[in-house]
Amino acid sequence: MRVPEFMAERLANFKELFRELYANPLSRAGLIMISLYVFMAVAAPILAPPNYPDPFKIPKVYSSVPLPPSMKHPFGTSGPPGYYDIYYGVIWGTLISLRISITVVGLALLIGVLVGGISGYAGGVLDNMLMRVTDVFLSLPGLILALAIASMLERSLENMILALIAVWWPGYARVVRAEVLKVKNEPYVEAAKIIGASKLRILFKHILPNAIYTALVIASMDLGLVVLVASGLSFLGLGAEPGTAEWGVMISEGRNWLLQGKWWPVFFPGVAIFFWVLGWSLLGDGIRDVLDPRLKKKGVIG
Amino acid sequence: MLLKYIIFRILSAIPTLLGLSILIFSLTRLIGDPAAIYIHPDMTPEDIQRVREMYHFNDPIYVQYIYWLKGVLHGDLGYSVTANMPVMEAIKSYLPATIELALYAFALSVVIGIYLGSKAAVNKDKPVDHMVRIIALSGYSMPVFWLALMLLFLFYRVFNLVGPGRLSLAIRFKYMPPYGDFKFYTGLLTIDALLNGNLEVFVDAVKHLIPPVLTQTYIHLAIFTRVLRSSMIEEMSKGYVDFALSKGLSYKTVIREYIRRNAYIPLVNVAGLQFVGLVSGVVLTETVFNWPGLGRFAANAAMQLDHAAIVGFTLFVGMLFVIINIIVDILQAYLDPRIRLE
Amino acid sequence: MKEPLISIRDFTLDYIGTYGTVKALDKVNLDIYEGETLALVGESGCGKTTLARSIIRLLPSNAVIRGGHILLNLKGKFVNLLDLTEDEMTKIRGSVISMIFQEPSAALSPVHTIKKQILDHYMEKILGRGISKLIIKRERSRREGLKRAVDQAIRLLQRIRMPAPHDVLEKYPHELSGGMKQRAMIASALILRPKIIVADEPTTALDVTVQAQILKLLNELKREFKTAIVFITHNLAVAAEIADRIAVMYAGQLVEVADTYKLFKNPIHPYTRGLIKSIPKPHVDEEIEPIPGDVPSLVNPPSGCRFHPRCAYAKPICSKLRPDLRDVDERHMVACHVWGYLE
């Protein structure tokens, strides 16, 4: 089936793609949400004057208890340590989320495509072994494995990102390998072989560009999911340090105030996470529908 | 032949289990002093030395692996400093609470998910469908711990219905050992309460189960709904629907007998994954509700760097996953006769 | 001449689509008699499947009936099938009108046994409850009923020459060959002794040898069970083999209806003649003559007689007025301004 080629053609007409994404109400909603986040990230220095020397550490607001939302602090304040402005945290948290999601998905995709591509193309023992390895990684739920890895390393945002990359790449490897197996036998690959192109060239120029579309669609949705898992890890204390503008960590700090009736430290960062994941899921589904409407709908909308 | 398939399936899981053990083993060697896993707080230096010899820490790494594996197969997963008991024992003691939570949440999400998914598929593109899809979408995008916290806030602070934990203090002081003579049979409070004939404990346990179960159910029914809906929609356009209708069966009958049955097949696959996904969610949910289960144990261990516990927990979950996968595959072969032949 | 079993008058049907409304059927008039095999012949998109499915009323949701009626002769009384409620139609399906499909693998559910698929409607209609219900009381009578049903099925399968019927009943569709699956479907269609079977290209997906077997089987069965068969096919040769009468359709219009022999001996409508000429005859030294032009889009069909753009004999009236079906001979009707009025 000419699915990969069909997708390639579609991707080439960016403008038309965009228009179709905009047309579908659900993916339009996703597009709007993500654009808002991107805007927040880019305009962060204007929306919330940065804290020096590290803008990602939320500036302290001194008060004995968290203050409810007001004009001065649109989302209220939270703490400990010190008491900080939640609005600031949510805005700058967008940048952190962008960083986490792009890094994790980008690197995991890179590793996954390479491993899956080589595995699918080479076949035989190498394929078998690599697939066994991915099987093992996939035999653990993402959060748990990331938890295990992150707890073995020193607690930091970077190490959490590393742990997430380690958890995420096997999924891509599997998907890419499956596509490579299908694409391997396509006529144009045979043609390249006959002309005498080297194996590496065939892999990179002909097979991979066509095999990665499914992985790309999944990746677009993963940009949302990664933040979901990352915030969970931070919530458990395995990611960013307390006081950092990261949504998960902010929620863990706000947790104790919840039972005293102060809901805003937990509420606003959570809403930020929710719409982030929602936006990417809708967008990712929309991208998939637009790239190949014939693909079976097994996504969030479907 | 179903039996042959079962045997084949079990055998093919062994390499995966082996690989899993290797992965976990390598994790244990990531930390500074791997022997820390086996070390008791009240061990003497001689004890520690003996531990090192027993597990051959001075030998090359593959020998260490053998001895580690041997230990694991004998139930020795090291000592947990957070729980103050061997990891294996900790797992055993915390497991029932998690099972109770996971079981109810799983059952509810499957049942509600099937119902909603079916309704949505049959009423495709009508308001019912849109409502169901929004519910499913929101459940999927919501952070579990955030939902848990919000529900905790609602139930505890706003409605003043129930607090964290499995039982209220009053009940605990009244019935639980060492104050009372409540007997534990399964470790599941609801079942045991019924077996004890104790309605008060039963009601209290149920009350405390509601918020965490609700949290888990909401997140997970999202996926079941989605899968059943799309699978039913796919089945509805299949040829056998026309054939069944042409025989004079009512559309209701056709949905019930033919479409649903065919639509369940991908569901079983997802259900298996979901059950293990529940375990991840349980870590966060239990932490929020202070539920004395495996999840909270793992979360605490992670926060306090109790490596033995983390490793033991991870190994346990991995094994569970492999076993569940085997069961799922067998169930699928049972449901879909086409698979059995392969 | 006796009264027809099914009487289709001025039947017009559209499909509402995203690209416009497809005018699939245009004032079709057709009679089907008891016990006869009528072949509906035409190329893809001519409306034969739509017409046949209208009889059993299994149309997709975007089908809109614009006019006409389909009368069913039930013991002397005529009932307009289009007026019946869905519940009433459900009673008719399977027991009075049933259907067999082109792809037996697609038509049979992969996860249910053959027994279930042959018998579930029988059980529900004859015994009054679904085959999978568990009703404790009257358990014994239910078991007896099931046993009787299975016996019926076995006898029927034996009549249809299904090998090892007892074993087949317990099997799943993917364990049977194409021919056996088709036989199972035929058994299912026949078990309630319907008066008419709609057969939608039942042999097209089968190997040629199997096709011959099934056709032979159908020939025997129609004689024995006295069931009328509406046999849809695009293959004139198959139609010649099995049909008593042939109805030729083009672009949603019925152009010629005649006894099989008469149709081949003396085809009158230009399209029919073109169709017959289009059949490859390797043993005759004749060049093949395709009909010039293409099948028209039915969103904007040609006016009047829809064949006129491709017809060598077209006259001005052909594009203005739609020709009616007229008798041109005994049991031979043609809808054509030019040729349909031969005396």
Indicate if the pLDDT at residue A81 is higher than 70.
no
For B74, residues 6+ apart whose C-beta sits below 8 A from its C-beta are: none
From CA B239, how far away is CA B244, in angstroms rounded?
9
Residues of A in contact with B284 (CB under 8 A): 143, 232, 235-236
What per-residue confidence (pLDDT) applies to A166? 92
Does residue B337 sit within a domain?
yes
What per-residue confidence (pLDDT) applies to A100? 93
Q: Crossing angle, helix A264-291 and helix B127-141, to 10 degrees?
A: 120
From CA A207, how far away is CA A185, in angstroms rounded?
10
B122 touches A at CB < 8 Å: no
Which neighbouring-strand residues pair with C196?
C97, C228
Selection from B211, B294, B287 nearest residue A252 by Cα: B287
The reply to whether residue A258 touches residue B138, judged by beta carbons under 8 angstroms, is no
Residue whose pair of structure tokens reads 């039915």 in the numeric block: C298
Q: How confident is the model over B102-126, as a mean pLDDT?
A: 87
What per-residue confidence (pLDDT) applies to A91? 85
Query: Do residues C326 and C340 lie in contact, with contact meaning Cβ atoms separated by under 8 Å?
Result: yes
The reply to whether residue B20 touches residue A136, judged by beta carbons under 8 angstroms, is yes
B262 touches C at CB < 8 Å: yes
Does residue B227 sit within a domain?
yes
Burial class (CB in 10 A: 0-12, 13-18, 19+), C336: buried
Q: Which chains share 3+ C-beta pairs under 8 angstroms with A?
A: B
Query: What confidence tens digit (pLDDT) does each residue in B251-267 have?
Result: 888 888 888 788 887 77
What per-residue confidence (pLDDT) applies to A295? 42
The ipTM value here is 0.82
Query: What confidence tens digit (pLDDT) does each residue in B68-87 have?
Result: 788 778 877 777 777 788 88
Query: What confidence tens digit (pLDDT) does each residue in C10-56 have?
Result: 999 999 887 788 888 989 999 999 888 999 998 888 888 899 999 99
Q: Which chains share 3+ C-beta pairs under 8 angstroms with B?
A: A, C
What per-residue confidence (pLDDT) applies to A20? 72
| Three-class secondary structure assignment of B153-204 | HHHHHHCCCCCCCCCCHHHHHHHCCCCCCCCCCCCCHHHHHHHHCCHHHHHH
From CA B120, how far away is CA B126, in angstroms rounded?
8
Confidence of residue B63 (pLDDT cuts 50, 70, 90): confident
The reply to whether residue A228 touches residue B146, judged by beta carbons under 8 angstroms, is no
Sequence-ordered strand ranges (E) for chain C? 6-17, 20-32, 37-41, 63-74, 77-80, 97-100, 196-200, 228-233, 245-250, 253-259, 326-329, 332-334
A297 touches B at CB < 8 Å: yes
Indicate if the pLDDT at residue A276 is higher than 90.
yes
Indicate if the pLDDT at residue A174 is higher than 80.
yes
Q: What are phi and psi of A233, to 5 degrees?
A: -65, -45
Residue whose pair of structure tokens reads 């081949």 in the numeric block: C264
Q: Whole-number mean pLDDT of chain C?
A: 84
Contact C/A (≥3 CB pairs under 8 Å): no
Q: Crossing angle, helix B87-122 and helix B307-335, to 10 degrees?
A: 40
The reply to whether residue C172 touches residue B338, judged by beta carbons under 8 angstroms, is yes
B68, HSE (Cβ side, Cα atoms, 13 Å): 26
Q: What whole-number percentage of chain A has pLDDT above 70?
A: 82
Selection from A88, A100, A79 nearest residue A266 by Cα: A79
The shortest C-alpha distance from B109 to chain C (Å) reads: 25
CB pairs under 8 A between A and B: 153
Does residue B5 sit within a domain?
no
Total count of domains within chain B: 1
Confidence of residue B25 (pLDDT cuts 50, 70, 90): confident
Residues of A in contact with B227 (CB under 8 A): 298
CATH of the domain at B219: 1.10.3720.10
Does residue B303 sit within a domain?
yes
Q: Residue C183 has which token pair?
A: 């036989």
CB nearest to A261's CB, from B20, B157, B307: B157
Q: What angle do CA A109, A112, A114 make, to 5 degrees?
A: 110
Query: Do residues A84 and A92 lie in contact, with contact meaning Cβ atoms separated by under 8 Å?
Result: no
Indicate if the pLDDT at residue A133 is higher than 90.
no
What per-residue confidence (pLDDT) applies to C138? 58
Mean pLDDT by 10 residues, chain C (343 residues): 84 87 90 90 87 90 89 85 88 89 86 86 72 52 77 84 85 86 88 89 84 84 85 88 91 90 88 82 72 82 86 85 85 84 52
CB nearest to C111's CB, from B243, B249, B336: B336
Does residue B104 sit within a domain?
yes
Query: What confidence tens digit (pLDDT) does each residue in A248-271 have?
Result: 888 888 888 887 777 888 888 899
From CA B293, how far away is CA C339, in angstroms rounded?
88
> Can you state the percent helix, strand and coil of chain B, rounding each to 5?
75, 0, 20
The shortest C-alpha distance from A29 to chain B (Å) reads: 13
CB nearest to C90's CB, from B250, B257, B336: B250
Does residue B3 sit within a domain?
no
Selection from B321, B320, B291 nearest residue B96 by Cα: B291
Does residue B215 sit within a domain?
yes
Which neighbouring-strand residues pair with C72?
C6, C79
Residue by residue, DSSP assigns B207-228 as HHHHHHHHHHHHHHHHHHHHHH
Q: Whole domain around residue B119: which residue ranges?
A: 85-341
Q: What angle do CA B66, B70, B72 make, to 5 degrees?
A: 115
Does residue B79 sit within a domain?
no
Q: Whole-number mean pLDDT of chain B?
A: 81
Q: What whole-number percentage of chain C has pLDDT above 90?
A: 14
Query: What does the CA dihedral C306, C308, C311, C316 come to, rounded to 10 degrees?
Result: 160
